[in-house]
Structure 1
């Protein structure tokens, strides 16, 4: 029988893979090696010499393919329920590095106070929150989900006229 640590490592690997695909699909620069990372490579890179994954090591920064000055942080908080303190720490780090967008991948939930802090920082800072459970599978790769593309203004007018 598999140990809980092993299941959590596999889960984090799948979340890591999905978030890299997500930011790649949004037009950010992600290496093919990160997109194709195997479970053993993931454990070797983030396992810190054992099977427990260091969540802080999973945090990363990417830049937009067409606009290198537009960057995005992805944070993996350690806490099961993320409070105000880590969110303020992320905002501080974003401010120091001049980054105005971030995605926070929470283990289970975020406290109402932390969510309120994220909302009050908008529109200067845009922080999106996803749970690990939402990110285990990339739903955009499911056969029943059509490819989504952003329409140009002209295409919107044509569609709305129909």
Structure 2
């Protein structure tokens, strides 16, 4: 810092790299949950890095980073997000996680944020969970991919809208271009097989171009 001009010093982050990573990943996760229809306070998403560090410190406690929010359409259904730290997630860790959510009757989805790999045994053990379990690498959440300038707009159709679309074009579900369930956008929105997405791409030449994708 001694050799940095004063006009640039305000742009240099002197805090811990760890807290910065957790700040970015937690913010993207909150945005993802909001876009999935969960009741996420705007104040949580709008926290600055400095405010985040004042709340969670330079070395955030993983327990404090946890997120639990209800669906706007059905407050009796909640999602829980657990940050797993930098250790490899093995079967004993998976067992502890399942024990922690045993009494969460209103839980309908669990999301794990990983900083290391998760073993095949742990993944298999998590299948015993009564709710759907998703996992993301923390590096995949440092940036919100849906905000990229080149990313088309994605809108998830309801079952009614999907039926109208199929009738309008007289096509079957298997005739719609596919989007894999493992696609980054599909994972961001938590899409499942059979759901249809309206994709709008802006073009300076042709104007808005609308296509549809069915998750497979």
Distance 1:85 1:29 in 2: 32
> TM (normalized to structure 2)?
0.66
Distance 1:85 1:34 in 2: 32
Distance 1:28 1:104 in 2: 17
TM-superposed deviation, 1:5: 7.0
Query: Which of 13-22 and 152-161 deviates more?
Result: 152-161
Aligned residue for 1:149, secondary structure, equals strand
Q: How many residues align?
A: 157
1:93 alignment partner in structure 2: 100
> TM (normalized to structure 1)?
0.87
Distance 1:36 1:145 in 2: 22
Distance 1:3 1:38 in 2: 13
1:39 alignment partner in structure 2: 49
TM-superposed deviation, 1:95: 2.3
Bigger CA radius of gyration? 2
Tell me, which stretches of 5 or more residues in structure 1 are unaligned?
Answer: none
Distance 1:85 1:156, change over 3 A: farther
Higher relative contact order (CA 8 A, sep 6+): 1
More helix by share: 1
Distance 1:145 1:112 in 2: 33
CA RMSD after TM alignment: 2.2
Distance 1:153 1:11, change over 3 A: same
